[in-house]
Amino acid sequence: MSDIEISYNAGRICEAIAKIGYEPHTAIMDIVDNSVTASARNVIISLNLAEGKSLKSRNSVISYVITDDGAGMDDEGIKNAFSIGSDKSKYSEKSLSKYGMGLKSAGLSLGSRIVIISKIDNVLFGPFIFDSIEIRNKNKFFISKGIMEHYSNLIDTYFNKTPSGTTVIIEGCENVNQASPKLTTEKLKKRLGVTYFSFLKTIEPLNINLRITPHGQDPNNSSIIAKDMLFIDSEDFKTNYNPDSYDYVSPYLALNDPWVLTDLKGQELPPITIKAVVFPQATLAGSKSPLPKESKSKITEYEISRENKGFFIYRNGRLIRWGDDLDGVITKDDINLRIRMDLSTEHDDVLHVDVTKQRLEIDDENKSKLQGIVNKALITAKTVRNDCQSYLKSTTNDEGLAFNSTVENVSEDDPEEISSADPEFLERRKLSAADGEIAKSKLAEDNPDKENTKFRKIIYSTKITYGKVWEPFYDATEGVFVGINKIHPYYTEFLSRYQENSIERIVAEALIFSVGLAESNVRDHFVDVDRETINQIFKKFHKNIENWLAEWSTDNINLVDE
């Protein structure tokens, strides 16, 4: 049998490997993997912006630079790094690399030219250049030797403090159509600390710095902080979940079991540790939660959401899957459950880890075993969700109650009409009292325990007349009371965020009550103007307030995050 050589198109191959499936932030992290594998202690990721461009501009990055203080490479090492594919035996057992495609595929997804300069014991090697445009033009794979002086500024910036290390430069970024890098930088800031958590938390920790450099200006630096999405290192973390002592705040360990797989020959592989942590429902950080402000803040820090639920899968200590449901092992309702799975190189083949190390596949038999292990955690997560819902529904409905005690000794008389006994005033007060009786019944419909509710001077309700933020009423025995509209943006976005009966809420209630009291007194004491005219005046008054507060609340929702 004779061999027949087949042709290839080098340019098309470069184009194909550039489109394996990287997003810019995942491509950058794949290059950072090489730094980690080289035992770097410091990595700098730089995004250099083109002149006149900002982070919000399309195609605004003129170059990406990833530099480290790792072992470094000589000329032969750099040439091997540029080879298409690599000898599997050259990788260590815990290497983050896999097929020898990461540098090329990740780099070409960001730009058309990859440059490597390296240093060992203060001796510089390179620069070597892998240019996909030149490869396409000549239809052959090759690298070229560049001129070191062309990169003198970069060498001074990155190599003057370390005897060894490597810098990877991605140029020709204008040849790759990309959205604005703002999202890329946001994802890097959010994900780097999680992705390299194991390396950032070691005894000799990895340090990662993200540097954004506008053209001709000083860089903006951000140091990456290690973050465990399971919050196992949190002071509130609990190792034993007990429904009778659940605190509605802490993350609880629900599972810590091994998952044993076999290879194609039937040999058992090293067990995969499955750790599951259950979180409270995110709604317990909301305005209707009875929890204190400090507890709500803790729950907010957990970032409980659909994006952050499911499996966080690590390979050799490096995150490869963020919030994976593994084709239905985790359902859409399991928002409060996170599971960490730690793989090693031995599991690559049986779990079909792909070239980008971002995706994997589990066959039906192994998936069934995994489901059996995880079911216990799924039950706990559902129990916690139900418990949180019951807790929310069992709130004491204290809104407005504390305000009563602050006004017990405060007069509600009109200061100019203290001795008034005008017959028309008395008649108006009777009408107001009759309206107040109707209002009490109507507003009480929002209260699940109507019979046992103490009379309140401030009542929160969804039954307030449309077009009003609040509405004053009069009770023949208790005097003026004011209903506050629970469906108006001023309540939903701001007022409700203060804890029931907090001093902030009571002060706001006092201001609203004072205006309501004044309106009630004016309406009943101003007998020289007929009641209908006064009603029309106050209707317009309320419409102005309602409209302005609605627009203000909508326009300033961002204040809630500050």
Instruction: Out of 59-68, 403-412, 523-532, give the one with best mean pLDDT.
Output: 59-68
Residue 66's contacts (CB-CB under 8 Å, 6 or more residues apart) are 28, 31, 32, 35, 43, 44, 45, 46, 167, 168
The letter for the amino acid at 338 is R
pLDDT band at 244 (very low <50, low <70, confident <90, very high): confident
Identify the residue whose tokens are 């009943």. Answer: 524
Question: Could you read off the pLDDT of 521-543 as tens digits, one per residue?
Answer: 898 888 888 888 999 999 999 99
Alpha carbon of residue 352 to chain centroid: 29
Q: Is the pLDDT of residue 348 over 90?
A: no
Q: Are 106 and 132 in contact (CB under 8 A)?
A: no
Q: Are 212 and 45 in contact (CB under 8 A)?
A: no
Q: Give the whole-number percent of the chain exceeding pLDDT 70.
A: 91
Q: Is the pLDDT of residue 267 over 80?
A: yes
Higher pLDDT, 354 or 41: 41
Q: Are 143 and 82 in contact (CB under 8 A)?
A: yes
Q: Give the whole-number percent of the chain exceeding pLDDT 90.
A: 44
Q: By mean pLDDT, which of 35-44, 144-153, 505-514 is the weakest? A: 144-153
Identify the residue whose tokens are 């001709």. Answer: 216
What pLDDT does residue 420 have? 58
Closest CA to 467 of 520, 523, 536: 536
Average pLDDT over residues 100-107: 77
Question: Could you read off the pLDDT of 296-319 as tens digits, one per residue?
Answer: 999 999 999 999 999 999 999 999
Q: Is the pLDDT of residue 157 over 60?
A: yes
Q: Is the pLDDT of residue 179 over 80?
A: no
Tokens of 558: 């961002």
Q: Are 257 and 277 in contact (CB under 8 A)?
A: no
Residue 309, CB-side half-sphere exposure with 13 Å CA sphere: 23
**Rounded distance between C-alpha atoms, residue 352 and residue 149, angstroms:** 44
Q: Between vectors from CA 311 to CA 308 and to CA 315, what angle results, nearest 5°?
A: 120
Ramachandran region, residue 354 (left: φ > 0; alpha: ψ -120 to 50; beta: rest): beta
Mean pLDDT of the chain: 86
Higher pLDDT, 425 or 448: 425
Identify the residue whose tokens are 């001129």. Answer: 147
* Residues, the chain: 562
What pLDDT does residue 539 have? 92
**Rounded distance between C-alpha atoms, residue 190 and residue 199, angstroms:** 16
What pLDDT does residue 76 have? 92
Q: By mean pLDDT, which of 25-34, 278-287, 350-359, 551-560 is the weakest? A: 350-359
**Rounded distance between C-alpha atoms, residue 490 and residue 512, angstroms:** 12
What pLDDT does residue 450 have? 47
Closest CA to 164 of 46, 44, 35, 68: 68
DSSP H or E segment with residue 431: helix 423-443
For the chain, helix (H) and strand (E) counts, in that order, are 15, 16
Average pLDDT over residues 252-269: 91
What pLDDT does residue 99 have? 44
What pLDDT does residue 95 have? 53
Q: Are 485 and 472 in contact (CB under 8 A)?
A: no
Sheet holding 458-461, edge to edge: 458-461, 479-485, 470-475
Question: Could you read off the pLDDT of 109-132 as tens digits, one per residue?
Answer: 899 999 999 999 999 998 999 998
Q: Is the pLDDT of residue 34 over 80?
A: yes
Average pLDDT over residues 507-528: 90
pLDDT band at 423 (very low <50, low <70, confident <90, very high): confident
pLDDT band at 189 (very low <50, low <70, confident <90, very high): very high
Helices (H), 248-363: 293-301
DSSP character string of 109-131: HH-SEEEEEEEETTEEEEEEEEE
Identify the residue whose tokens are 């360990």. Answer: 253
Q: Is the pLDDT of residue 91 over 50?
A: no
pLDDT band at 92 (very low <50, low <70, confident <90, very high): low
Q: Give the domains, in start order, of the chain with CATH numbers.
A: 10-223 (3.30.565.10), 243-393 (no CATH), 401-561 (no CATH)
What pLDDT does residue 560 have? 56
Q: Is the pLDDT of residue 287 over 90?
A: no
Q: By mean pLDDT, which of 85-94, 95-104, 339-348 is the weakest? A: 85-94
Please state whether beta strands 61-68 and 113-120 pair in parallel, antiparallel, or not at all (unpaired).
Answer: unpaired
Helices (H), 126-179: 132-138, 152-158
